[in-house]
Structure 1
Amino acid sequence: MPQKPLSIAFIIRDPLPPARADVSTLFGDEMPRYGLQTDLVGQLGPHGGSAWHAGAMHAVGSLTSRFAAVLAPLWDLLGLLRVLARTRPDCIQVRDKIASGLLGRWAAALLRVPFVYWMSFPIVEGFEVRRDEIGERGRGLRWLAHTLRARASRHVIYRMVLPHARHIFVQSDAMADWLASQGFARERMTAVPMGVDAEQFDRDSIKPVADPRLDGRRVVLYLGRVAQSRRSDFLLDVADRLRRAQPDVLLVIAGDAPSSDEMAWMRSEIAARQLGEHVLLTGWLPQETALGFAVRAEVGLSPIPRGTLFDVSSPTKLVEYLALGIPSVANDIPDQRLVIEQSGAGLCVPMEAELFAAAVLKLLNDRQLAQQFALRGPAYVKTHRTYAILARNVAKTYKQILPQRA
């Protein structure tokens, strides 16, 4: 008689249905291979996603609601109750949520099952950065509200949630070391860097986009989110320098912004620099279309600002470029530096516009070097950063922390 799969009730911050590969691929495709099913709890997002076949999906509320930040814990409670009406999970796991982290901890205690926290981003420190940005414009009621949120969030996560987690999954070894420096046991952490779905990022299976704006241009790619906090205008500084040396260059920024205001800001920056002929900002794209743009690029860019927020991150875009055989230029946050050093498939430079532009021009002008990088990238990803590879370590960790059935 086949054994019943172990069950994870997983409360996530990202929109449902899941689009991020570290949820959709890792938990949707890979964990079932190891006898682990996942019931997702969260809020609906503005864009659709694939159906969830690795358990059940309980979407309560919507991230498009103006009250989402306030109501999310209540919605997550309702979603968790729906999970419990269906099954008794073997563990409760929360990803990147504050109040719902506390909810998950209490629910796990009541059910007497392990509580696990998944930290893909230092959310508290993100709140503090936002508080400081507002404070630069004056310390009014808005600044006070963000100050109270940041202070309360720090107390909840670092005093009431993480100390009671049976295990903490983190985004990178750098994040694990950072949490260990704050007093959390390193042996209670597992680093799960970003990877790719090998089938989706098989270059031979991707149809290049037929967009005449790319014809006859030296295409440079940025695949990812646009945001002021990510200093996305840095890309425009690089494009401005590139066009002086390479007049037919076109920077394709294939991605959306977290808000219409952020997208308007980026468009205004392009106009202010008179880069309309050299920068194509696509906005949100289905993955198939985004990859169609990607395979027409000669160089991929992955600039990530240094600092507490991003030094502990594991950016997806660099690994995606390498999987597609796109020679890349990335800056020196720890995970990117490690990937460049191990793969030998790109150039790693500090996040300075002159240095980035020089590295891009080196790849555009040295076809032999670019071809070497293009060949090394997919081979590295297949042996180090596909979710099939990463899943082995994740599944092994779950088997150690989840109760085993007779």
Structure 2
Amino acid sequence: MSGPVAGRVVHLSTVHHSWDNRILNKECRALAEAGIDTHLVISADEDRTGHGLSVHAIRRRGRLARLVVSQWEALQWLRRLRPAVLHVHDPELIPLMVLWGRLGRCRIIYDAHEDLVKQIETKPYLRGRQRVLARGAARALVGLADRRCDAVVTVIDEIAQHFSTTRRGRPRPVVVVRNLPWVADFPPVSVRCNDPVAVYTGDISEERGFSRMVKAVEQVPGARLVLAGRSLVPTSRTGSHPEVEMLGLVPPGELPGILARARLGLVLLDRLPNYAHSLPTKLVEYMASGIPFLATDFPYWRQLFEDVDAGVFVDVDDPAAVREALERLLTDPEECSRLGANGRRAVEEHFGFDLDAARLVRLTRQLLG
């Protein structure tokens, strides 16, 4: 097999969709705009180009077929593209990534989007012994990535601490690239002019607060709820809710327009370990748009955002408190405008993706050598 193409980077995922905001619109876009030869191999309907990079389609499959057929398809793309740096986004691809790093003689980056071991606790289909086995497999995969990767990218410092900054006695980069919005992508919203609409963006599931949001909105006269994201809730359980509009999965470029219709953004997640120490991207996107948030009162989130005074934290285990906070905000456009302006200013000063993009570009160029 021929050697790698000098200067070429391939981002790889068989799990995420081709519109994934972090992978496509942030990381790959940042590299392409910096002039790096960037390719994305990912589940998609068709090959395409955009943001100055090439997207190569892998057919979307179920979990079991993905572990075999999709990985074989990914391997074929790697043989054609021959990257000098391979940047992988799925834990299940870690063995393939390590194998290709040896066969393809390229540098490899593992992108830890979440704390994989804690994430096991959020999987409702894993119970009892299955969960124990899955937790052990997760630790083994993370350990393999830690031993074999040339660099690790994570979203928060707490996850970065799980990875060693040395490898074989030499420094090994562990870089935090926060999942923040490009400020320029989110024009500020005139909250005062908006109807009493609450919005939620992202995967829709029970642990992410689907029923909690619906019930709260139904109890506030005149309120409406807009949900934009992939629904993981069975159709039989979504029911008929006149106050709720479900838009389905939308490309990242459409999110600012959806937020522009809202007076408030929701992040009412369950108290699960994987959420408690996460950087809530949607919350920062709400702030970037200039709309306030109503969010779960995780101590870590309070530490990050309470002093910004851009929204309200609430005990999600208290339905009455959720409803009261929602009603108070939706019926007070002046307060929403004040909180939203604080959030927009904080994103412009501290929570924009521009600095993190530069950090990723430096790392990639270092590995390209």
Tell me the TM-score normalised to structure 2 length.
0.82
CA offset at residue 284 of structure 1?
3.4
* Counterpart amino acid of residue 89 in structure 2: R
In structure 2, how many angstroms separate the alpha carbons of the residues matched to 1:185 and 1:284? 37
In structure 1, how many angstroms separate the alpha carbons of the residues matched to 2:352 and 2:295? 19
Change over 3 Å in CA distance of 1:237–1:325 after alignment to 2: same
Instruction: Pick from 50, 55, 80 the counterpart of residue 78 of structure 2.
Output: 80
1:267 matched to 2:233? The reply is no
Of the structure 1 ranges 217-226 and 288-297, higher mean CA displacement relative to structure 2 is found in: 288-297
CA offset at residue 305 of structure 1?
2.4
Q: What is aligned with 2:98?
A: 105
SS of the residue aligned with 1:70?
helix
Asked if the contact 2:91/2:142 (under 8 Å) is kept, the reply is no
Q: Residues 280-334 of structure 1, C-alpha deviation per residue, up to 9 Å, x if partnerless?
A: 3333345565544422221111122232222243222111111111111122346
In structure 2, how many angstroms separate the alpha carbons of the residues matched to 1:134 and 1:152? 13
Unaligned runs of 5+ in 1: 137-142, 209-214
Instruction: Pick from 164, 168, 174 the counterpart of residue 158 of structure 2.
Output: 174
1:195 matched to 2:180? The reply is yes
CA offset at residue 265 of structure 1?
4.3
In structure 2, how many angstroms separate the alpha carbons of the residues matched to 1:60 and 1:228? 29
1:163 matched to 2:147? The reply is yes
* Counterpart amino acid of residue 98 in structure 2: R
Q: What is aligned with 2:335?
A: 369
In structure 1, how many angstroms separate the alpha carbons of the residues matched to 2:71 and 2:14? 11
Kindly report which structure 2 residues correspond to 1:387-406, keeping only aligned pairs within 5 A, or say none: 387-400=353-366, 402-404=367-369
In structure 2, how many angstroms separate the alpha carbons of the residues matched to 1:128 and 1:364? 33
Asked if the contact 2:195/2:262 (under 8 Å) is kept, the reply is no
CA offset at residue 342 of structure 1?
5.1
Give the CA RMSD over aligned residues: 3.4
SS of the residue aligned with 1:71?
helix
SS of the residue aligned with 1:62?
coil
Q: What is aligned with 1:135?
A: 127
SS of the residue aligned with 1:257?
coil
Unaligned runs of 5+ in 2: 167-171
CA offset at residue 81 of structure 1?
0.8
SS of the residue aligned with 2:227?
strand
Change over 3 Å in CA distance of 1:316–1:282 after alignment to 2: same
SS of the residue aligned with 1:25?
helix
Q: What is aligned with 1:212?
A: none
* Counterpart amino acid of residue 267 in structure 1: T
Change over 3 Å in CA distance of 1:128–1:355 after alignment to 2: closer
* Counterpart amino acid of residue 221 in structure 1: V
Change over 3 Å in CA distance of 1:289–1:93 after alignment to 2: closer
Q: What is aligned with 2:114?
A: 121
Asked if the contact 2:43/2:59 (under 8 Å) is kept, the reply is yes
In structure 2, how many angstroms separate the alpha carbons of the residues matched to 1:103 and 1:35? 27
Of the structure 1 ranges 22-31 and 113-122, higher mean CA displacement relative to structure 2 is found in: 22-31
SS of the residue aligned with 1:107?
helix
In structure 1, how many angstroms separate the alpha carbons of the residues matched to 2:144 and 2:97? 11
Where relative contact order (Cα < 8 A, 6+ residues apart) is larger, the structure is 2
Percent sequence identity over matched residues?
21
Q: What is aligned with 1:139?
A: none
In structure 1, how many angstroms separate the alpha carbons of the residues matched to 2:344 and 2:357? 18
CA offset at residue 202 of structure 1?
1.5
Change over 3 Å in CA distance of 1:25–1:34 after alignment to 2: same
Tell me the TM-score normalised to structure 1 length.
0.75
Q: What is aligned with 2:169?
A: none
* Counterpart amino acid of residue 145 in structure 2: V
Considering fraction of residues, name the structure with more helix.
1
1:40 matched to 2:34? The reply is no
In structure 2, how many angstroms separate the alpha carbons of the residues matched to 1:345 and 1:67? 44
Q: Matched residue pairs, number?
A: 358
Asked if the contact 2:31/2:361 (under 8 Å) is kept, the reply is yes
* Counterpart amino acid of residue 7 in structure 1: R
Change over 3 Å in CA distance of 1:329–1:76 after alignment to 2: same
SS of the residue aligned with 1:31?
helix
Q: What is aligned with 1:140?
A: none
In structure 1, how many angstroms separate the alpha carbons of the residues matched to 2:13 and 2:7? 19
Change over 3 Å in CA distance of 1:287–1:92 after alignment to 2: closer
CA offset at residue 164 of structure 1?
1.4
In structure 1, how many angstroms separate the alpha carbons of the residues matched to 2:99 and 2:53? 23
In structure 1, how many angstroms separate the alpha carbons of the residues matched to 2:60 and 2:103? 28
